[in-house]
Amino acid sequence: MEYILDCLCNRLSKSDIGLIDEQRWADILELTKKKNISALILYNLKKQNLFIYLPPSIQDLLENDYYAVLGQNIQALEELSVVLKALSEHNLKVIILKGVFIITAVYDNVALRPMTDMDMLMHQKDSTLIKKIFSELGYNLIEDNQNNSLTFMKQDYRPIEVHWDTLSFNKYKGIIRINESEFWDGTLEFKIGTDTFLALSIEDNILYLCIHLCLNHFFSNIIWLYDLKLILETYRQKINWDKLLKKAETSGIGPAVYYCLYWSQNLLDANIETDTLKRLRPSFLRRVFLDYFSKKAFIIDDFESHYISHICQLLMIERLPDVFRMSLRILLTRLKGLKKSFN
């Protein structure tokens, strides 16, 4: 993982490349593919004029991955434009979430960031009409999570998830205090080709990425941290840090935002003001535990200790009463699972 981080941060040299044999490159490539960063590795190596020093077989594999992602993303974005046009014709409001906004707004080209699905935020009151429109476009409804989202699938295309709110898991409801209506008041416009669409504000995008990266998936993929780094760099002059930090604190996720910013700085060289981190920094006892395990989650492939992950996610919640409430929810969920397995 060290070589991967160095490549993502443009820290590799020709001599570093010479120390890696072909088998080691194959192992690195396997991990980069798993983490969805193969195309990004190729791009950064070419930018540093180091790509030519890789073994030819590794060059071929990286280029194949790059062009595969390029084709998939072009197809996905073209299809999304069709879907968004159909929704717009019915005057339905849509906010684009995560990957689509990120690859078109902060990456140098759309081949650098794979997407496993496409996410959008809409109003739950429109669910019946939304299902009808997707059905007319040839999509099948494969999951109806009435509290959170609808998932649609069309043959040969990426799944599209329509969310009613930004909290993917019920265990966080009422614990992470996010005012969803505020998302609709401060949207950001961005373009896909010649078409203009809405995304979350920069501050809300950063919060949403932190929730997704830290609380939903506990730092399981470095690509989401790299997304955060690029957003911080691209919109540096436009970020309202006071607004962002206040939202993090009032939402009860100060520690989660702290660690996302902290590791984007310490692993990926993002430029974060010291005062910003100081304001969000958790207590010493929390940091003793979280410093170690959050880094381990990034560095070690398949960090799968569910118990440690649960403890870390609990410690990312700011208020102690909320930590106890969430502990109870996790315990009850585990007990229900055990009961089902025994039955």
- The fraction of the chain above a pLDDT of 90, given in percent, is 50
Calculate mean pLDDT across residues 61-66: 93
First CA to last CA distance, the chain: 42
The whole-number pLDDT of residue 341 equals 66
User: In this predicted model, what pLDDT tens digit does every residue of 150-202 receive, in sequence order?
Assistant: 999 999 899 999 998 877 666 777 788 888 788 888 888 888 878 888 999 99
The whole-number pLDDT of residue 172 equals 78
Q: How confident is the model at residue 90 (pLDDT cuts 50, 70, 90)?
A: very high
